[in-house]
Amino acid sequence: MGITNNDLVLQNPHSFLTGFFLFIVAGVLLYLAYQWALPKPIPGIPYNEEAAGRIMGDMPSIVAYMKEHGRLRPWFAKQPVRHGSPLIQFWMTPFSKPKLILSDYQEAQDILLRRSKEFDRSTRSIQVFLTIPDHHIAMASTDRRFKGNKELVRDLMTPKFLYDVSAPQIYSKTTALVELWTLKAELANGRPFDARRDIFDAAIDIINAATFAFDDSLCTVKHQLDYLATTDSRQLPVNPDGSVDFPQLPELDDIAVVHALCDHIGNQFKSLKPKLSHKFKLLTDSSFRRNLARKDELITQEINKSLQRFESGDNTMFSAMDHMLQREREAAKKAGRKPDFHSRRIYDELFGYIVAGHDTSSSALKWIVKLISEHQDVQNKLRSILQAAYPAALAESRQPNETEITKTSIAYVDAVIEEALRYASPLPVVLRETTMDTILLGHHIPKGTDIFMPSSGPGILMPALPVNDNVRSETSRTKHWGGKWNEQDMHLFNPERWLKTDETGKIQYDSQAGPFLAFGLGPRSCFGKRLAYLEIRMVLVLLVWNFVFKPLEGELASSMAVDSLTSNPKYCYVALEKVQR
């Protein structure tokens, strides 16, 4: 039998009182600890009631949402809608400060463009990219290394560099995809096939080429083409859904290394504690450590190859790497020091091209291929506009060449690309953190608060939420620019929304027609945006020039998405017919 209160009193009244006192103290302490651990809302900003009443905050809802939908990202755009408020707060993990979701384009534009002193790259983003700690993506703007890194990559996105150096690289890899799909179109005989791997491969070939100018031995699409050409694929088994599968080579070893590292960063995006999960991975996963080392080895090899070529007197630039090396050589000469071609900074800025530029472009290309299959009117219009824009290529029955594609501006092409990125943003959320106590839509926001700004939310894909103009910042009220989308059709894919007719009756592309956040905005917006546009344009032009993307049915046409580093279509099939000319 246990000791009852009665026993205690009788045996030792003194110890009972002490015990009772300790019990009360412990109770009070527990209560205080519980109160301390409960989420503390920022006054005046809506939040989920159930989250504020538990130590775990919104985490259980987030976990449940991820379980149900297999992805988290749409949750961000849903919360402001749920509360009918453009600014809401939530608690992602226990014992954490509230984070904010801002779904108002005008104020987001103000934060990103004009208030970058108060809102910088977030600590969370920096931790996500711990795989490349010396890349500028993993630095606050106040980091003393930041300026030097930006200096190193300064000219890489100028039209001159892109057209002269990157465009030929991108063109040659895109041509390989056209060749592969020409063969597949013939073998599939009009039946659909899964395009995800080919687009993923083409995107990695393209970004590898722009970054390192790898030779064809590392060109994955070329390998697939050679393999398919020598495999007997005349009798492809047809799946119940009408699609066919092609035999496929496993990934090349070195590409698998890159892929695994990018996958880790994709997981980092989803991690609730990215710093912890990165350290854990480093400690526990020896294949991850091997991949990191192999990646560095690959870069060392490529750097040495270029340096040897420079030494022999050939200073031609083929890649972003060549440019960085020559820049380092000049900087060292100016400063009277020895050049350091093997610095962590150069290695990370180079690998950052792949990390930031592969999955993003791959996602964008997959969505665009789906969208033109779904919207036959857009595809047909695009093809006839291209045929009119490249009359020489049409007359000579050849491909538009790289100069023609880069130098001919075609409003409708710009509109289709922009609309695809608006409609299906590869990265649906832009993130910033307050660097000081500040005010946002009339609310006091403490320093160190994360702010998530959905690029697929209200104002962009669904009706904007109401905001009282008086609570907007001064610069937001006086300096904002750009149109607004029509609420009736903003949820639809329609490139026409980006076009306007000028005074002379000419149709122009209007990049400010309405809210768009796919590349972020301001000093910390996407560094590689111009390269991305160039790549998407080349791929889109050459694909639509060469193939009719026939409409798809059933599950193959599903618009469901899955999230890795970026958001990707779950189903990305193409049914191709070669354009005859």
Ligand X SMILES: *[C@@H]1O[C@H](CO)[C@@H](O)[C@H](O)[C@H]1NC(C)=O
The site map against ligand X for 245-284 (x = CB under 6 A) is ----------------------------------------
320-335 and 196-212 helices, crossing angle to 10°: 30
How far is 454 from 425, CA to CA, in rounded Å? 10
- Minimum CB separation of residue 515 from ligand HEM in Å reads 14
- Minimum CB separation of residue 469 from ligand X in Å reads 51
Which segment (38-46, 112-120, 299-307, 536-544) binds ligand X by CB under 6 A?
Answer: 299-307
Structure tokens at 267: 């997981």
Structure tokens at 581: 């000319």
Residue 233 binding: pick among ligand HEM, ligand X, none (C-beta 5-8 Å cut-off by kind): none
Residue 30 near ligand X by CB under 6 A: no
- Minimum CB separation of residue 402 from ligand X in Å reads 6
Structure tokens at 410: 């075609």
How far is 282 from 563, CA to CA, in rounded Å? 23
Side chain identity, residue 418: E
β-pair type (99-102, 450-454): parallel
Residue 123 near ligand X by CB under 6 A: no
Residue 64 near ligand X by CB under 6 A: no
Nearer to ligand X, 258 or 445 (CB): 258
Structure tokens at 179: 């060749």
- Minimum CB separation of residue 578 from ligand HEM in Å reads 27
E strand or H helix at 542 = helix 529-546
Neighbour-count burial of 319, counting CB atoms closer than 10 A to its CB (0-12 exposed, 13-18 middle, 19+ buried) = buried
Residue 301 near ligand X by CB under 6 A: yes
Task: Compute how many residues bind ligand HEM; rule: CB under 6 A.
Answer: 25
C-beta pairs of 466-473 under 8 Å, 24+ apart in sequence: 466/84, 466/86, 467/86, 467/104, 467/106, 467/107, 467/441, 468/442, 470/442, 471/441, 471/442, 472/106, 472/107, 472/110, 472/441, 473/107, 473/110, 473/115, 473/439, 473/440
- Minimum CB separation of residue 559 from ligand X in Å reads 37
How far is 94 from 91, CA to CA, in rounded Å? 7
The site map against ligand HEM for 80-119 (x = CB under 6 A) is --------------------------------x-------
The residue with tokens 């047909």 is 380
Residue 524 near ligand HEM by CB under 6 A: yes
Residue of 188, 225, 518, 542 that binds ligand HEM (CB under 6 A): 518
How far is 341 from 329, CA to CA, in rounded Å? 8
How far is 101 from 111, CA to CA, in rounded Å? 13
Count of positions (residues) in the chain: 581
E strand or H helix at 500 = strand 499-501
Residue 361 binding: pick among ligand HEM, ligand X, none (C-beta 5-8 Å cut-off by kind): ligand HEM
Residue 352 binding: pick among ligand X, ligand HEM, none (C-beta 5-8 Å cut-off by kind): ligand HEM
Residue 520 near ligand HEM by CB under 6 A: yes
Residue of 90, 527, 547, 549 that binds ligand HEM (CB under 6 A): 527
Q: Which residues carry a binding-site annotation for heme? A: 526
β-pair type (499-501, 561-563): unpaired
Residue 401 binding: pick among ligand HEM, ligand X, none (C-beta 5-8 Å cut-off by kind): ligand X
Structure tokens at 239: 């799946």
The site map against ligand X for 365-404 (x = CB under 6 A) is ---------------------------x--------xxxx
Question: What residues between 130 and 149 interact with ligand HEM by CB under 6 A?
Answer: 136-137
Which segment (58-66, 280-288, 527-535, 543-551) binds ligand HEM by CB under 6 A?
Answer: 527-535
Nearer to ligand HEM, 120 or 402 (CB): 120
- Minimum CB separation of residue 553 from ligand HEM in Å reads 28
The answer to whether the CB of 495 falls within 8 A of the CB of 378 is yes
The residue with tokens 């937001």 is 476
Residue 519 binding: pick among ligand X, ligand HEM, none (C-beta 5-8 Å cut-off by kind): ligand HEM
Which segment (20-28, 45-53, 398-406, 519-527) binds ligand HEM by CB under 6 A?
Answer: 519-527
- Minimum CB separation of residue 365 from ligand X in Å reads 23
- Minimum CB separation of residue 370 from ligand HEM in Å reads 15
Nearer to ligand X, 305 or 480 (CB): 305
How far is 214 from 226, CA to CA, in rounded Å? 18
Query: DSSP for 36-95?
Result: HHS--PPTTS---HHHHTSTTTTHHHHHHHHHHHS-SHHHHHHHHHHHT-SEEEE-SSTT
Residue 402 binding: pick among ligand X, ligand HEM, none (C-beta 5-8 Å cut-off by kind): ligand X
Residue 301 binding: pick among ligand X, ligand HEM, none (C-beta 5-8 Å cut-off by kind): ligand X
**C-alpha closest to that of 212 among 149, 325, 302:** 302
Nearer to ligand X, 399 or 567 (CB): 399
Nearer to ligand X, 283 or 392 (CB): 392
Neighbour-count burial of 105, counting CB atoms closer than 10 A to its CB (0-12 exposed, 13-18 middle, 19+ buried) = buried
How far is 100 from 66, CA to CA, in rounded Å? 19
Nearer to ligand HEM, 519 or 549 (CB): 519
Residue of 12, 304, 380, 512 that binds ligand X (CB under 6 A): 304
In the complex, the residues that contact ligand X under the rule CB under 6 A are: 300-301, 304, 392, 401-404
In the complex, the residues that contact ligand HEM under the rule CB under 6 A are: 112, 121, 136-137, 352-353, 356-357, 360-361, 364, 426-427, 430, 518-521, 524-528, 531-532
